[in-house]
Each structure stands twice: as structure tokens, then as C-alpha cells.
Structure 1
Amino acid sequence: MTQEAFFRVTDFVTGKVSLPATLGNMLTAIDALAAMGIGSIHSVTGVGFPMDLDVGLESLFARGLRNPVAYRLFFQTMDVAKVKKRKLPRIGGCFATALDGCFGSVDAAMNEPYASGAGLPPDASRGVLYYDEERVKAFCVEANRAGLQIEMHAIGDAAFDQAVSSICAALDDFPRGDHRHTIIHACLPTRRGLEACAARGIAIALQPAFLDWEQEPLSYLRSIMGERAMELSPLRTMRDMGIIMAGGSDAPCTVPDPILGIHAACNHYVPGESLGIQEALDLYTRNAAFIGFDDRERGSLEAGKLADMVILDRNPLSIKAPELRTLKAEGLILAGKPYRGGQGAADLIIRGLFNLNRKI
């Protein structure tokens, strides 16, 4: 109920924000992200505006940016026809494609009950699955047959298993070699689910900063799930199994600063699940480009690719893991040119209207 109420309130509030104000805020945000060295954005849209006007506005925004930011839209809907109508190559995210809640509201869907300290009534002791198995499978089958990339939110192990089994069912129905379907979060994955991800090429979009997040500290997580808290985000295990993992922030839940995510990935509270520094850098560069189908142009500095890079104040490979959070981004270069901030709304709209073929 808590998470469902949150979604309803969010839909209501966002629907009351004027489109001009939204556009101005987005321009401010894009400059703020660039200051953190971010040149690639996976944005979830479809959050309550009448007639999905936010989807159209964000499409215009993405096409109108004067800097060559890799801005990729994810329409949060299970209505495949809506996505095909807008000629987007992917579907999903959170909200309508969230399979469960989260640990903060104690409604992430679990295979085993939460600990008694969570204070849940017996009928809600395992959290909440928002959809039954058949509904999720039907969605995945339809989206996969339509050639779309699928992304779904799954935090608890029951939701993770549901996401994995539904994507696998879709691939059994209509095999695709380079689908790049992705599960978002996968905070408490099961071993059998991870094995299926490795075998079927299912990627995981995770947020390492959750490992050092003041809203859900380890003491709180242990109080609601006991020792299962020590099994959260097993980065090393997933890496060694060959699963493609990409790093993100789930902003505004955590600060959208890749440096903080890289630091968290290298300093897991279970030391054996930490990544090496180069592996953590890959989460936010080549792997992020891969799950966005941008790996032919971005994600690494190679001949034939765009010269996208961030300038840091120090070499991250020359410092110790605990010091990574002290790194600072000093500049962003996209397609070989320094990022230029301060774009105005009028310029953006004109560019967006005349740049309809730009990849989003």
C-alpha cells in the first residue's frame, strides 16, 4: 500500500507541473550531470502527465540538446503499442514496469518472510508482487516479439525470479541473440536466477551507491531481513559468473555521481563482493554503453568511436579503493569537443523540431 500510494502521489504531482517549468528544470539538470562527468543518460519517462505529454516533451528535449549527450528514453509502460507508435527501441523502467516495491517501505517481494523486526502483518510478511506471473510473461512475450529491449524493476528475490523467468519465457517463445534485456536493481538475486541471466544474456542495471546509502543503512537492512542483508548486490559473484552489469544512480534516490558509485562498488561491506577499480570503471563506461546499444560508438576510447571522455583530477588506477570518493570531475568532452552549458529553451525546441532523426 505504501509503494502504491507513492506511485499515485507521484503521478498526481508530476501531472501538475507545467511543461515550460519542466523543460527549464531539465536543462538545469543536464548541465549539473555534465559537471559530474556524465555524458550518457538512461531516462525513465511516462510519470503521470495527461496523454503521456511528458514522453513527447522528453523526446523533443533529447533531440534538441546541442551537446551530443547519449540520451536514451525508457517509456515506463506495459503498453507495447504506445512504444511502437513512438518508434522507441526499448520499453520499461520503474513505475508501471516495477515488479515490486523497495526495502525502505518493506514491500520488496521476498521468497521468505521479512524478519520479525520489520513489524509486518502476516498477510504482508513477504512484501508485494505487483503482477502475477502470467501478466509479466505476457508483457515480456509481446515486447520481445516486437523487437524491443525490456527493462523491469526488481529488488527482492521473488521479484528478481519473476523477472528472470518472464524474460526467459519470452526468449523461449521467440529467440533473439542480441536482445540486451535488463533487470534493474536486482538487489537480492537468487543463484538460480543469476545462472539463468548468465546463460541467456540478461543484463543487470545496478546502483552500487545503494551499498552506502543513508536512507537504507546496513543496520536497518539487517533489522528487516536478518543475514540476507549480507547477500545484497553480490557484485563479485555476478562479475565472475560473466553477467553484464552496468552502473547507474537511480537518481534522485542516490546522488547521480558516478564517482560515488565506483567507490561503493570497490568498497562493498562484504569485502569478497567488491570489484577491482578497472571493473568498477567498466560499470559506468563500456558496460553502460553496451546495455544502451551504444557500444559501437561509445564506452571506450578506440579508433572509430566517438571521443567521449571525462577529465578527472587524478588517475583512479593510481589510488587506493577507499580514496576513490575523493576524485573530482574537472571536465567533460563529447565527440571530441568540450561540453557547453547554458543552452536556452528556445534553442533546444528549434533543434528538437529539426533533428527528428537523432537517436534517443
Structure 2
Amino acid sequence: MTITVFAARRILTMNPSQPEATHIAVRDGRILAVGDLEAMQAFSDTQWDERFADRCLMPGFVEGHSHALEGTMWEYPYLGYFPRRDPDGRRWAGAQSLAAVQVLLREQAELLPPHQPLIAWGFDPVYFEGARLDRRRLDEAVSDRPLVILHASLHVMTVNSAMLELAGLQRHVDVEGIMVDDDGSLTGELQEMAAMHVVFETLGMNLFETVGAPETLWRYGRVARNAGVTTITDLYNPLTDEGIAALKAVTREDDYPVRLVPAMAALAWPVDEGIQRLQGCLEQGNDKLHFGSVKLMTDGSIQGYTARLKWPHYHDGHANGIWNAPPETLKEMVEAYHQAGLQLHIHTNGDEAVELMLEALEGALVFWPRCDHRHTLQHCQVIDHAQLRRAAAQGLCLNMFANHLYYWGDIHRQRTLGHERCQRLEPLASARRLGIPTAIHSDAPVTPLGPLFTAWCAVARETATGRVLGEHERLSVRDALEMITLGAAYTLRLDHLVGSLEIGKFADMVALDRDPLASAPDALKEIRVTATVLGGRVHEAE
């Protein structure tokens, strides 16, 4: 077979034994050699590829916590506070006031046939002072059809009166998360999965299950490619029969530009059935599809006030958050999936949720010891130092939501967490000092997919207004780059295949227009991805 040699101005390998190179040889989709020009001349029958000669090459980025919903949500209008671009490059300005939200909703409703439900997404109430968005404000905008607004956190939605009536939600007020006024009338706000499920069931579609559609997976792949990502997760996949078939079919396509790691949504299945389903998937993967992980959702989001925080709870006195299942049920699920030999990715936004899961994992490991389990706490945004030490003792991995520092840092300091807890918001440097395998992520579509921006957040720790939160938790650029490559690959049990450029691994790379180690740290977020390489196949970014 012909050997392709890629040349670059500089290659950052993330291999501690050989951190840098200028050339990389690829055969059969895998790395044959990494080194300088002289090392490449030992090979015959080579094809030289100079298209990246003036570029910096790195291992393709690994996004360890994102959702294929990124490929679904852009079918609906975006209501977020911050401007954003969709996969086709269109810029959505977002909405910075409730009046602007109402105007955008009226405009979008006029584009639909009569009575067709309108779904929009990305709304973030924490940025709006005063009255909270409720059914009355939505009715002022759209009253002639059901209206569903999914919040940016994906943990809350608000619906109008037409949707409340269609779903018969007045009959379900005993479901936790269906919010009511002081007089007992429905506000239209629905918090967490059980409450939102009633609406999805009425509409005959569940947004969280659309991730199995081939067009969704292709759109998701294009977004990943443009961000320099070559290995991406879908960390809440229901793994329906149709969804599994779509995952297998799409990833077998030569042109599909990413490797995909779906984690089964634990709460979507009875425990025994979920274990059996996931174990049955283990042999159904391919080089671009890797099964074996399960995602457990414990609490909600801090900015949505549905995360579970330890005392003194929310800084502004708001009531504590919501469990997505009773704590004892969550602990039993941890024990069952651990005993079955599967890897757990556990959503723990608040430190009370972290505490519950540390207790559950400690118990599971006592009764069923496992080496190299790589159970990973996801988000763990305000994990405290005692909890960090316990996580290290248990051999856990962490994957922290570094983008929170920018998008919600100001809100957390002023309203949800206060000054002191914000100094340990995403305590990345502390985790690294304790030797805990750690990654950072975007949680797309909650925030835009962009590992270099995520790395900048971990290095600069600046909010949207430029305030620094927790300067002692800042990372070096090199450490941040490790967390979006090899560190993330480790949490996915794929570090033997991706995450660094070493002989035998998949030839997955990202080409950058600038060298992140030769640029100012603040330039990280400005570096442009020009292409990715997956198994030696070049995919130009758009």
C-alpha cells in the first residue's frame, strides 16, 4: 500500500516522548511514523502531501461531552442570548430582551402553516431581569398554535397556554417540575425530564430521540469537522433499534468525517433492559463507532436553578434544584451498571450531586472492585477540594464544562454561586495537581462546539464581561490542549487509538492556521481550523 507523508510547519503530537515533529507518515488509515524529513526518507513508494506545509498539525480534537442534538436544533429558530452561527454559516443574532424574544417568535410563527406547533430553542432566562418568561408572555407573542421554548440548558422548557391545554398538563400537576403560581395555576415552565416528557409525548416527537435520524448525524458531523473535532460524543443517546441502525449506517460511510461515541441514556430504559441493550451493542461498532458507555443524569443545571447544591445552596436564596430520579434509585443504577462492567458518564452539575455519586461509586467499588473503570463525572462545576481528593482516590475521571466560565460566569458570581464558589468554578488546575485524568468540553448545543474556544476558557478563565474567575485554577496552553485531545480520549477509553499522534494510532489530525504554542494565550479562541484528517482522509473545513 502507498504511504502518504504529510508535511507541516510544526506538528504538536501530544506524545510526551516526542512532543514535536514536522512530518507524519500514514498507511491504511493509521500512523506509520512521526518525525522529521530524514525519518520519512526511510520509506519507499511514498506520496507526499504538502497542503499543510504552512500549517500547524495537531491530533484531531476529541469532544468528550456533546450531543447530536446539535444536528437537530438548527431545524428550529434560535433564541439564545449570544449570537451564534448555524452549520450552514448563517448568523443568528439571538435575543437580548423578552420583547425581542416575542418579536422573533411572531415572525417565525408567520412562516408556519396554521396551527402547526412552533418549537424554538436556546432561551436563557437567567440573563433577563424581572419577570420570568411564562405562558402569559408567550401567549402575547403566539396564541394561535402550541408553542414550546427549550431553554439553553436543555433541562427546562416553557410552553404557551395552547400547549398546556393540548397536553392536558393541568391533570399532571403532581409531576415534579411542572411549575405553578402561588394560586396553583400553571406557569408554563417545565423543569427536567419527567415534566418535559409530557409535552414530547403529546407532540408525538421527542427531541432527545431525533439524534437517531441520519440527517441529524450528518449535520452533527459537519459541525464537528468545521470545529476541528475528529472524535465526538453523543452523551445522551436513547439507543433505540432505529437509532442504532442509523449510527451504524452513517459511520460506515467513507465520507463521514468523525468517529462517534454514543453513551446510552440510562433513564430511558429499565436497568436490566438497559444493561442488556448496551452489552448487545458492544460488538456492533466499527472504526468510527464505539459503543460501551452509559450516561446517568442526576441533577439539572446551575443557571436553570435545577442543579443540586450543598449548603448554603443558591447564593440568591433560590430553592435547591431537582433530582432526575430519586437519589436511592440513582445509586442503585450506578451499582448495577458498574457491576455489569460498563463505563459510567455521570452528569453532576452541583456539588450535592457530586457528593451523592461519590458515595454511590465508593460503595460499588468496595463490593465490586474494578481496575481502570474510568467512570467519569461530567460537568462537576463546583466540585470542592475534599471531593476532588475522593475522586482521585477512587480513580475517577473528570470532564469539566469550561465554557461556563465565559457564558455564565458573571451570572454565577452575582446570583447563583457568589464570589467564593466561583473561584473554584471548574477547578481544572486543582484536578491536574491531584493527577486526576481530566477533559474539558462544550456540551453542544448548550454552547457552541469549539474545542479551541473551550481551551481558551480554561486558560483565561474570563467571563463575557472580561472578569477573571479563579486565577489560581488557570491552565497553561499546553495543558488545555492536552485536555481537548489525549485527556478527553482517555475519558472515552480511546486513548490507545486517538488523542495523540503516535505510531499505530488512527491518522486523525486537525490543521490550524496558527501554532497555538507559538501564539499569545489569548489568541487561542481566534485560531482557525482549515481542515481535518480522519484516517488519512482529508476533510476541508467550510
Q: TM-score interval w.r.t. the shorter chain?
A: 0.7 to 0.9
Q: Distance in 1 between matches of 2:424 and 2:293?
A: 29
1:62-77 matches, within 5 Å, as 62-64=251-253, 66-67=255-256, 69-77=258-266
Equivalent in 415, 421, 435 of residue 223 of structure 1: 415
Structure 1 residue 204 corresponds to structure 2 residue 398: yes
**Residue 109 (1) aligns with residue 308 (2):** yes
Please tell me whether the aligned partners of residues 347 and 378 of structure 2 are also in contact (alpha carbons under 8 angstroms).
yes
Give SS of 1:165's match.
helix
Aligned CA distance change for structure 1 residues 167 and 41 (closer, same or farther; 3 Å): same
Give the letter aligned to residue 42 of structure 1: T
In the alignment, residue 92 of structure 1 is paired with which amino acid?
A: V
Equivalent of residue 295 in structure 1, options 495, 517, 522:
495
**CA distance in 1: counterparts of 2:396 and 2:203, whole angstroms:** 34
Once residues 82 and 65 of structure 1 are traced to their aligned partners in structure 2, the CA distance between those partners, rounded to angstroms, is: 27
| TM-score calculated relative to the size of structure 2 | 0.56
Q: Is the 8 A contact 1:133 1:166 kept in 2?
A: no
**Higher Cα radius of gyration:** 2
- Following TM superposition, by how much is the alpha carbon of 1:20 offset from its aligned partner in structure 2, in angstroms? 11
State the SS of the aligned residue for 2:334. Answer: helix
- 1:356 maps to none
User: For residue 90 of structure 1, what is the aligned residue in structure 2?
Assistant: 292
Q: Does 1:327 align with 2:527?
A: yes
Distance 2:412 2:497 in 1: 42
CA, structure 1 residues 42+8, in 2 after alignment: closer, same or farther (shift >3 Å)?
Answer: farther
**Cα pair 2:530 2:541 within 8 Å, conserved:** no
Conservation of the 8 A alpha-carbon contact between 1:235 and 1:274: yes
Alignment RMSD, CA only?
A: 2.7
Query: Equivalent pairs: percent with the same residue?
Result: 24
The 2-side partners of 1:221 and 1:265 are apart by: 17
Looking at structure 1, the residues matched to 202 and 443 of structure 2 have their Cα atoms a distance apart, in angstroms, of 21
Residue 259 of structure 1 contacts residue 325 of structure 1 at CA under 8 Å; is this kept in 2?
A: yes
Q: State the alpha-carbon separation in 2 of the partners of residues 321 and 314 from structure 1.
A: 12
Deviations 1:91-135 (A, max 9, x none): 433xxx2110111221210111334635x3xxxx33223334432
Q: CA deviation at 1:264?
A: 0.4
Q: How does 1:245-256 map to 2 (within 5 A)?
A: 245-256=438-449
Contact 1:77 / 1:91 at 8 angstroms: preserved in 2? no
Match of 2:360 in 1: 166
Gaps in structure 2 of 5+ consecutive residues: 1-176, 178-190, 284-290, 462-468
Deviates most, 75-84 or 248-257? 75-84
Structure in which a larger fraction of residues adopt helix: 1
Q: 1:19: Cα distance to partner?
A: 6.9
Q: Relative to structure 1, is the Cα distance of residues 262 and 102 closer, same or farther in structure 2, using a 3 angstrom cutoff?
A: same
Compared CA separation, residues 141 and 277, structure 1 to 2 (3 A)? same
Contact 1:100 1:108 in 2 (8 A): yes
Separation (CA, whole Å) in 1 of partners of 2:500 and 2:282: 28
Q: After the TM superposition, which residues 128-277 of structure 1 pair with which residues of structure 2 at under 5 Å, given as runs?
A: 128-213=322-407, 216-227=408-419, 228-268=421-461, 269-277=469-477
For 2:280 and 2:528, locate their aligned partners in 1 and report how far apart those are by CA, in whole Å: 42
**Which residue, 15, 26, 30 being the options, matches 2:205?**
15
Give the unaligned 5+ runs of structure 1: 343-360
Distance 1:143 1:8 in 2: 27
Larger deviation: 59-68 or 248-257? 59-68
1:306 aligns with 2:506: yes
Provide the rounded CA distance (Å) in 2 between the counterparts of 1:142 and 1:248. 27
User: Contact conserved, 1:140 with 1:166, CA < 8 A, in 2?
Assistant: yes
Say if 1:100 and 1:129, in contact at 8 Å, map to a contact too: yes
- The alignment partner of 1:299 has SS state of coil
Q: Which residue of 1 aligns with 2:218?
A: 27
Moved more, 200-209 or 76-85: 76-85
